[in-house]
Amino acid sequence: MSTGLRERKKAATRQALHDAAVRLATEHGVENLTVEAIADAATVSRRTFSNYFASKEQALLHQDRALTARLVELFRTRPAGESLMTALLRAAEQLATEYAPDPAREERYRALRLDPALLPELVAVYAAAERGFAEAVRERLPDGPDGPLRAHVLAATLLAALRVVGQAALERGERNAVDLLRQAISITREGFG
């Protein structure tokens, strides 16, 4: 039971650091944001910050990393008999029901996420998600000599659709990202047909 409490406290600290980073970056700009300021705003030490994040960019994009990791986790738990697309859509639907965005926070995050200084970290977030998706997709594919390549190509395609949908949802303030994902997958199927 204490492990559960410890994990909840860690998650709360991680979220507090993320929230402080987003708020401060929105107020002062990413370029003026420091790790010390984030730690102070979250009322933790610089060392505590370093236990959770390697950089201010990681703290700023924690939400992206957490949501993509959760999506991979949900995808992995889908029944083996589901197609890749069905499993992805059902996992996305489940994530959408779990994640209740705060409109004010989302507005701050939307503007911040477009900052070019965050691009390298955003690429790293999606690269990690792609590796996770590739492993999960590989588990669903029949054995064959092209299995690893097929898994990586399919994972990259899924992640590209997710990235484009996520960006479109942020830019437009779109509330139903799952419908956008369905549309993107349909476009992908037609485009490669």
High-pLDDT (> 90) share of the chain, %: 38
The closest alpha carbon to 183, from 168, 193, 170, belongs to 168
- By the 10 Å C-beta count (0-12 exposed, 13-18 middle, 19+ buried), 1 is classed as exposed
**What pLDDT, in 10s, does the model give residues 31-88?**
999 999 999 999 999 999 999 999 999 999 998 899 889 999 999 999 988 988 888 8
pLDDT, position 1: 43
- What distance, in Å, lies between the first and last C-alpha atoms of the chain? 52
Q: Note the pLDDT tens digit of each residue in 121-139.
A: 988 998 999 999 999 989 8
pTM above 0.85, yes or no: no
Cα distance between residue 174 and residue 87, in whole Å? 22
Comparison of pLDDT for 175 and 21, the residue scoring more: 21
Q: Which residues of 74-110 are buried (b: 16+ CB within 10 A; e: fewer)?
A: bbbebeeeeebbebbbbbbebbbeeeeeeeeeeebbe
Cα–Cα distance, 136 to 139 (Å, whole number): 5
pLDDT at 37: 97
Which residues, in sequence order, are CB contacts of 108 under 8 Å at separation 6+?
22, 23, 26
